[in-house]
Structure 1
Amino acid sequence: MSNMETHPPEVTCADAHRPRGVEVLGARHVPLGGPRAMTVRRTLPQRARTLIGAWCFADHYGPDDVRLTGGMRVAPHPHIGLQTVSWLFSGEIEHRDSLGVRALVRPGELNLMTGGFGICHSEFSTEETTVLHGMQLWVALPAAHRDAPRDFQHHIPGTVALEGGQARVFLGSLAGDTSPVDTYTPVLGAEITLDAHAVVGLAVDEGFEHGVIVDSGEVAMNGTALRAAELGYAAPGAARLTLENTSGEPARMILLGGPPFDEEIVMWWNFVGRTHEDIVRARQDWQSASDRFGQVEGQEHERLPAPELPNATLTPRRNPASPPADRGEPST
């Protein structure tokens, strides 16, 4: 998915002081396109937190009636320095990229694309889709692999039974299941559903920090309440994570994790670089239709133009040095 903001903020992400306990963050609403656009709820990055492990971007959308909004219609756009993770709860999206891959994103199936030095792709919900609902996530590539070759991986994870629920582990390892999908830094990604009033204790890597994004229901993360669309963050140090469905209806959430990312990265629009100059060069290459990103076959003339760069050097933005309030407000 592309960041469709006309004035995307520059973000420099770096590890900083990590408060203990669970930090609760709201989402900000971003329209994905024109006046009838589908709106996404963005929980990463924001002022209060820019990274969870190497996870650097999280958009949550739907359930969206495509008859009213037109669904997802994102023309070819570029990426560098990251891997994109597409995960659906309902609906269907056609993915096309400059590798020549043409694939469908379906509920419960992982599509992971590696941007590396440069790739472009498009995403359109299919004509058969009536309700679109899912997540778009990005993983920052470490410096040693920032120019990794373009790649695309598809995986259908099995269902892992939990006491009072189930999990689908699409990246990393959890509850005795391990995804075969390759990443360049350790990460965890899983969809978890819990029955009404169920409580689940999960063994996790104590070197990881973890985030829970609630899709539906009311959830408590290590005893801290989270509402739908909120993000709960837990710092490294615990070998167990407790999730509770505090409602009388099923609850669904996405669990993200990874070791604190100890590299400073600059994010702007759809690019993850290391310096202001990296971003400027990538934008120039995209605007000039250089060979760096390739072309999406059949959609060469529908490319999404890059926004204007700010009239200043892209400046750092870091995680806060002091613990935030128990319940964060959506960032702007």
Structure 2
Amino acid sequence: MSNLDQQATPSLCGGRGFVVAEPVRELLSPRRVQLGAGTEVRRLLPNLGRRMIGAWAFVDHYGPDDIADEPGMQVPPHPHMGLQTVSWLHEGEVLHRDSTGSLQTIRPRELGLMTSGRAISHSEESPRAHARFLHGAQLWVALPDAHRHTEAHFEHHADLPKVTGSGIDATVILGSLDDATSPGTTYTPIVGADIALAAGTETRLPLVPDFEYGVLSMSGEVHVDGVPVLPGSMLYLGCGRTELPLRAESEAGIMLLGGEPFEEELIMWWNFVGRTQEEIEQARADWMTGTRFGEVKGYDGGPLPAPTLPSTPLKPRGRAR
């Protein structure tokens, strides 16, 4: 999914200088962004209070939207570099096309994982015949320097491992949780899990103390380490935890995101993750001139133009507040 903001501002991300080394409870409020006709998203990362969680650098939550009489998601071809996109649905379908030739319909609880490497372009749209409701999250994972020029590719994993218990059903999207490991390709120590909680459930999730974590509420009423987290908001938890208390007042759905703090300092502008202003400028020029990022075939419409670069210099910094 693209950042469609035509007034795109740079996000200066990464570095360990602002990682919280102990457990905290920092509630992040979303910024509302219009994503094409009829689709509004709640942007949790990057946030004024928090830029990254591990290698997770971008989190949008959208829906549930009634699109029975609407076209639904319509995101034209657009570029990416230096990151992975993670498409995750609770309801609906998304048709993915990209410049490597991939064509895949992604359905609820299936992983659509696109590794951009140096350059890729893709489109996302609701199929013409689609379900009434659309509800999901779109996330980006920053690639470390050693792998950010890897060959672009797309993965689709319909059968993901589960962790179950009394009142809890967790699907491991990326990385490992408990003894379950996702087949999705990762390039840094990371975890992403979708967790369904039955009403009245009280449980504790095992965590890795060296990871920093956040919890995105997808639906229902859930208390995370005693803090009520409403749908479309996220609780940042810091590091140093071995377990996480959860309590569901009603049926609830959350996403657990975590990983080792990302050491490298990054510039994230529009749909690009780079290290220098020159890289970002070159990527924008390559997209606008039709080079490097390839062609998305089969989408009914033209590509998305890049916004104008800001007049102020782009400098990589830490995960500053």
TM-score (norm 2): 0.94
Structure 1 position 235, deviation (Å): 1.3
Deviations along 1:85-119, whole A, 9 cap, x unmatched? 00000111110001101001100100100001000
Helix, strand or coil at the partner of 1:59: strand
1:135 maps to 137
Distance 1:113 1:299 in 2: 18
Distance 1:283 1:300 in 2: 23
Structure 1 position 128, deviation (Å): 2.4
Distance 2:129 2:160 in 1: 24
* Equivalent residue in structure 1 for 2:26, among 16, 23, 26: 23
Structure 1 position 17, deviation (Å): 3.1
Q: Is it true that 1:240 corresponds to 2:243 in the alignment?
A: yes
Helix, strand or coil at the partner of 1:233: strand
Q: How does 1:41-56 map to 2 (within 5 A)?
A: 41-56=42-57
What is the aligned residue count?
A: 316
Seq. identity, %: 48
Distance 2:77 2:247 in 1: 40
Q: Determine if contact 1:97/1:122 at 8 Å carries over to the other structure.
A: yes
Q: Determine if contact 1:168/1:192 at 8 Å carries over to the other structure.
A: yes
- Structure 2 residue runs of 5 or longer lacking an equivalent are none
* Equivalent residue in structure 2 for 1:172, among 171, 175, 179: 175
Deviations along 1:94-152, whole A, 9 cap, x unmatched? 10001101001100100100001000001010122221110100000001111111011
Structure 1 position 293, deviation (Å): 0.8
2:11 maps to 11
Distance 1:115 1:191 in 2: 23
Distance 1:75 1:299 in 2: 8
Comparing 306-315 with 210-219, greater Cα deviation is found at 306-315
User: Taking structure 1 as reference, are residues 287 and 301 closer, same or farther at Cα in structure 2, changes over 3 Å only?
Assistant: farther
Helix, strand or coil at the partner of 1:74: strand
Distance 1:69 1:232 in 2: 32
Distance 1:105 1:301 in 2: 21
Structure 1 position 43, deviation (Å): 0.1
Q: How does 1:86-97 map to 2 (within 5 A)?
A: 86-97=87-98
- Structure 1 residue runs of 5 or longer lacking an equivalent are 322-332
Structure 1 position 320, deviation (Å): 4.8
Helix, strand or coil at the partner of 1:58: strand
RMSD: 1.6
Q: Determine if contact 1:38/1:70 at 8 Å carries over to the other structure.
A: no
Helix, strand or coil at the partner of 2:114: strand
1:330 maps to none
Structure 1 position 227, deviation (Å): 1.5
Structure 1 position 61, deviation (Å): 0.4
Distance 1:109 1:48 in 2: 30
Q: How does 1:241-260 map to 2 (within 5 A)?
A: 241-245=244-248, 247=249, 249-260=250-261
4+ residue stretches of structure 1 with deviation over 2 A?
Answer: 14-20, 67-70, 298-301, 315-321
Structure 1 position 37, deviation (Å): 3.0
